[in-house]
Amino acid sequence: MKVFNTLGRKIEELVPLDRTHVRMYTCGPTVYDFAHIGNFRAYVFEDLLRRRLKHAGYRVTQVMNLTDVDDKTIRGARAAKIPLSEFTGRFKTAFFEDLKTLNIDPAERYPAATDHVPEMIALIRRLIEKGVAYRSNDGSVYFSIAKFPAYGRLSQDVVGRKAGARVAQDEYEKENVADFALWKAWDEGDGDVGWDSPWGRGRPGWHIECSAMSMKYLGESFDIHTGGVDNMFPHHENEIAQSEAATGKSFVRYWMHCAHLVVDGRKMAKSLGNFYTLRDARNRGYTGREVRYVLLSAHYRQALNFTLSALDGARASLGRLDEFRAQLREVAGGAGGGSLPDWAAKARDAFKASTENDLGISDALAAVFDMAREGHRVMNGGGLKPGEAAGVLELLDDLDRVLGVLAKPDEKPGSDVEALVRAREAARRVKNWQEADRIRNRLKSLGWEVKDAADGPKLKKR
Ligand code: AMP
Ligand code: ZN
């Protein structure tokens, strides 16, 4: 596989430290609110990456952290007048539900920051002992960027290091590059949140969290570190500085960043108020599968403009694939997989070649749709043998191990499907046949056939 490495800005052959096993770390959510679709662009990209690696035969160990202590979570818990863990617990639960809705394969581990404060304290201690971190008068600890000459290697254009200047916030602009906080001394605003440390009561900064937890679970050097481009500076730059200054080893081999999901040219973000959550999309009648498809279908390094009409487009595309699969099933009957027709073998090869080249999803999807078009044509002419249809069906399912967008054959109808069936019944009762047919088609696009029997409607997976 080849991937674009932000460190060095070029496409490189992916060679894991352990030949057969890829270790990757993913910056996860700050659990102070529901994640928005922009955040999920990053998680869907990482899911595509891990699925493609597994498809290529690698074992994958992915670690995704949960940031459950920082300014935003503390502020939220205080506003809600509940303990921090109860507040963040709600959003952790919601996050895992959303991952399921989007068919994102679970990471191997989801360490929470609050469970790893001793590891962070130990790492900060190491940095102080090495002389690259220092305690300030208020009991906070800062990383001294002047002591780490390689600082700025990842983001490349870090300017004007201000010797001795400090930033206490976790997020800041490149113009303000300065010594950043590893440990933040307790203050009023923290309420009852705090841990004892050699430097007094306080809490860890955001950056140290990812260094401590990634190295704990993946080793001091590992293969891939991912996130959205906004994580590159200062977060990932600071992670490199902390980790390499402490261990003297190279921290991560391949840094991969996805471009932003944008709305009218601006990053989708909580702070800009231009965001949609997955729940918003579902309330408008869209499924997780449709959202996943939109997020997946643009190359991860290209900005992706989010619109509702893109979700409609996803519905149409997925409908074509479902249709193709239903027709293949009919032709295959009970046949076992036979030889692949040329047009299907061509799609398989094109899919493999494009996804192994830095996850070239557009060409991969084009290959799948070309296959569907050709397959329809051949089947309509009666020219596909049952064994061949079974072979194509197997191929389609195999490609979906990477894409994760096809409706699952053994799926039980979800609550949205059941609601549609009820809505259709209601329309039929008042003889609104047009509406009933519209809903039937909607169910069809979701992969369900509805048959009207004497004792009511029956659902069958297409
Ligand atoms: P946060 O909860 O803000 O730390 O973000 C979690 C993940 O979502 C990080 O990898 C961010 O880089 C990513 N992210 C945030 N906003 C966007 C966006 N609009 N498009 C793509 N990724 C994003
Ligand atoms: Zn991180």
What does DSSP assign to residue 188?
Answer: G
Tell the residue nearest (CA) to atom 8 of ligand 1: 39
Question: Which among 228, 250, 242 has a CA at the least distance from the CA of 183?
Answer: 242
Is the confidence at residue 411, as pLDDT, over 60? Answer: no
Spell out which residues line ligand 1, taking CB within 6 angstroms: 27, 29-30, 38-39, 41-42, 227-228, 230-231, 258, 260-261, 267-269
Task: Report the C-alpha gap between 45 and 308 in whole angstroms.
Answer: 20
**Which one, of 27, 9, 51, lies nearest residue 226 by Cα?**
27
**Nearest ligand, CA 234:** 2
- Average pLDDT on 417-435 reads 87
Could you tell me where the DSSP H helices lie in 147-236?
A: 206-218
User: How far apart, in whole angstroms, are the C-alpha atoms of residue 133 and residue 147?
Assistant: 9
Output the CA angle 203-207-209, nearest 5 degrees: 60
The alpha carbon of 26 and the centre of ligand 2 are apart by a number of angstroms equal to 7
DSSP string, 280-317: HHHHTT--HHHHHHHHHSS-TTS-EE--HHHHHHHHHH
Q: What is the pLDDT of residue 217?
A: 98
Ligand 1 atom at shortest distance from the alpha carbon of 26:
10
Q: What is the pLDDT of residue 410?
A: 54
β-bridge partners, 138 = none
Single-letter amino acid code for the residue at 207: H
Lowest-confidence pick of 38-42, 72-76, 145-149, 410-414: 410-414
Across 141-149, average pLDDT: 94
Other C-beta atoms within 10 Å of 420: how many?
Answer: 21
Is the pLDDT score of 56 beyond 90? yes
Return the number of other C-beta atoms located less than 10 Å from residue 150's C-beta.
11
Question: pLDDT band at 300, cuts 50/70/90?
Answer: very high
Higher pLDDT, 427 or 346: 346
Mean pLDDT of the chain: 93
Confidence of residue 172 (pLDDT cuts 50, 70, 90): confident
Please tell me what DSSP assigns to residue 175.
G
User: Which ranges constitute the DSSP H helices of 131-266?
Assistant: 206-218, 237-247
Ligand that comes closest to the CA of residue 228: 1
The model's pLDDT over 330-342, given as tens digits with 9 standing for 90+, comes to 999 988 888 899 9
Question: Between the CA atoms of 109, 113, 114 and 119, what dihedral angle is there, to the nearest 10 degrees?
Answer: 90
Per-residue confidence (pLDDT) for residue 200, from 0 to 100 = 97
Nearest-angstrom CA–CA distance, 32 and 145: 30
pLDDT greater than 80 at residue 121: yes
Per-residue pLDDT, 255: 98
- Lowest average pLDDT, out of 62-76, 109-123, 402-416, goes to 402-416
β-strand pairing of 2-5 with 10-13: antiparallel
Q: Write down the pLDDT at residue 419.
A: 76
Query: 19-37: string of b/e by CB count within 10 Å (b at 16+)?
Result: eeebbbbbbbbbbbbbbbb
In this model, does residue 205 exceed pLDDT 90? yes
Average pLDDT over every residue of 61-75: 97
Q: Which two tokens stand for residue 385?
A: 């043998």
pLDDT range class, residue 418, cuts 50, 70, 90: confident
449: left (phi over 0), alpha (psi -120 to 50) or beta: beta
> At residue 435, does pLDDT exceed 90?
no
